[in-house]
Amino acid sequence: MLCQVLSKIPDSGYFFDKFYTVRQFCVKKPLRVPFIRSCGKMTDKFAQWHPRTAPRARLGEEMKQDRMMTLLGVLTAFCGILSLSVGNFIIGGIILLLAFGIFWTRGGGKFNDRSLYEKVVRTDLTIDEIYEKVKDMNTPLGKAWIAEHKGYEGDSIVFGPNIFRDCVVISRMKKDIDIKHITLTDNIIRKEEDEYRFENLVDPDAVEVTPRRYSIFASFKLASVILVRDLLKIIEELSSGGEPEIPAESGIYNFYYYNSTEGWLRNEEGDDVLEVSCSYDPFEAKVMDSDGDVMAEVVPRAFDAKKRVTDSAGYDLYADGEHFAGVKRTIEKNLDVFTITSEAGTFVIRSFPACRRANIAGNYTVELDGREVAVIGGSPGIVFDTVGKSQNDVILSYDDDYLVLYAVMEIFIMTLNKKFLK
């Protein structure tokens, strides 16, 4: 099935078709490619694992850490200024540099700009009013239900938990509504009839971590922070008197992962979807079909004298051996942005703060003409007990028509980031 936009492009050619849909590709090169949607619960075979090293959210952790970092930065800067005022210029300068480093680490802007896992909205909206708006919205953590949360007064709205204990909780905090991702399910006070939601939760120390199990776990961490972001937008619009459109499904995705020790992009069921070939030196980032024919690749336009990629020259994206579009890399508000302007539309791949709870070094949203179509993320060098150090990538696809593009760009970005490991 071709995407609608292709019908508007005359003589698009097969390379366009291949780029937009694995389904079309599977007609030419048959593969077992079931597209499984994740609807708030995983099958029993995934209920055996939770990474023992994954950090867990605590009550108010993000806000407390942010306030402590701000206070530490202010006190350090104050000490630096005092040192300068009494003539200790060298010591004062060093202390001010340290203060700068603290604020740089904390990040700029407001709390909501800095915090990935927790957002705050100043509003008079009640929990009941918010619940009535979002109660029928299905998410990767299921639908909303009402419970209480230790540390907050009154009811809270809860999405989850999944078997990895991921929850997104909306609570009243004095004059604010607090939205955050947690994994400490003991903080949720529930009625007896809701105990079934907490059955079969995973023991963090029980099982071995493999690339596939880790990738499924990481996908839910990414899905949770996207849900926090989307709920923030809904509540902000409601608070300003607007009537946001509440989707029947929010963030429901098809899951794919790649580990460099395996060589294939695979789906939730573990089926091979696309073969991957990538390396930093010599630079290579491409995906292939089951016969080894290249479906898409990204090629740097220039290298320096040491054969390192020259970012400023840009990149070219090829599909089926033909030029598809240029890839431009820019920095906006200290975040990576890759822009692909093509006949089919403009793809913008924009980074957001690293999802450390999933041990992901780089994560990006993918938009086509302003519509979010995927979230991608990974690490160029993550260590597993089972396979050692390897590149590991995950894709949360909201529209599989563009899966080949997500795959080749994710592989390209993570391969590009390997220069920091040199």
What are the tens digits of pLDDT across the range 33-66? 222 223 333 333 333 333 333 333 344 555 566 5
Q: What is the pTM of this model?
A: 0.77
pLDDT for position 274: 97
In the predicted model, is pLDDT for residue 167 greater than 90? yes
Contact call for residues 156 and 137 (beta carbons, < 8 A): no
Q: Which two structure tokens, joined as six digits, stand for 329?
A: 């890399």
Long-range Cβ contacts of 143-149 (<8 Å, 24+ apart): 143/40, 145/194, 145/197, 147/188, 147/189, 147/190, 147/191, 147/194, 148/188, 148/189, 148/190, 149/59, 149/187, 149/188, 149/189
Contact call for residues 192 and 200 (beta carbons, < 8 A): no
In the predicted model, is pLDDT for residue 177 greater than 50? yes
Q: How far is residue 338's CA from residue 347's CA, in Å, rounded to a whole number?
A: 8
Q: How far is residue 355's CA from residue 65's CA, in Å, rounded to a whole number?
A: 16
Long-range Cβ contacts of 183-189 (<8 Å, 24+ apart): 183/54, 183/56, 183/57, 183/357, 184/56, 184/57, 184/58, 184/59, 185/161, 187/59, 187/149, 187/150, 187/151, 188/147, 188/148, 188/149, 188/150, 188/156, 188/158, 188/161, 189/147, 189/148, 189/149, 189/150
Percentage of the chain exceeding pLDDT 90:
54
Q: How far is residue 280's CA from residue 419's CA, in Å, rounded to a whole number?
A: 7
Domain ranges of the chain: 4-37+253-421, 62-111, 117-205
Q: Which two structure tokens, joined as six digits, stand for 132?
A: 């009535």
Starting at the edge strand found earlier in the chain, the sheet holding 176-182 runs: 118-122, 176-182, 167-173, 155-159, 144-149, 188-189
Percent of the chain that is helix, strand, coil (3-state, to 5): 35, 30, 35
Percentage of the chain exceeding pLDDT 70:
78
pLDDT for position 55: 38
User: H helices within 156-306, ranges in order?
Assistant: 211-239
Where does residue 96 rank: exposed (0-12), middle (13-18), buried (19+ CB within 10 A)?
middle
Tallying the residues shown for the chain, one arrives at: 422
Contact call for residues 276 and 261 (beta carbons, < 8 A): no
User: What letter represents residue 398's amino acid?
Assistant: Y
pLDDT for position 113: 67
Give the model confidence (pLDDT) of 293-334 as tens digits: 999 999 999 988 888 888 889 999 999 999 999 999 999 988
Most confident of 83-87, 154-158, 280-284: 154-158
The 3-state DSSP class for residue 262 equals coil
Answer with the residue of higher pLDDT: 17 or 151: 151
Q: How far is residue 336's CA from residue 414's CA, in Å, rounded to a whole number?
A: 12
Contact call for residues 228 and 170 (beta carbons, < 8 A): no
Arithmetic mean of pLDDT, 121-150: 96
Q: How far is residue 58's CA from residue 55's CA, in Å, rounded to a whole number?
A: 9
pLDDT for position 204: 56
Q: How far apart are the first and last CA of the chain?
A: 42
Taking Cα atoms as reference points, which of 145, 133, 160 lies closest to residue 247? 133
Q: How far is residue 248's CA from residue 121's CA, in Å, rounded to a whole number?
A: 23
Arithmetic mean of pLDDT, 148-166: 93
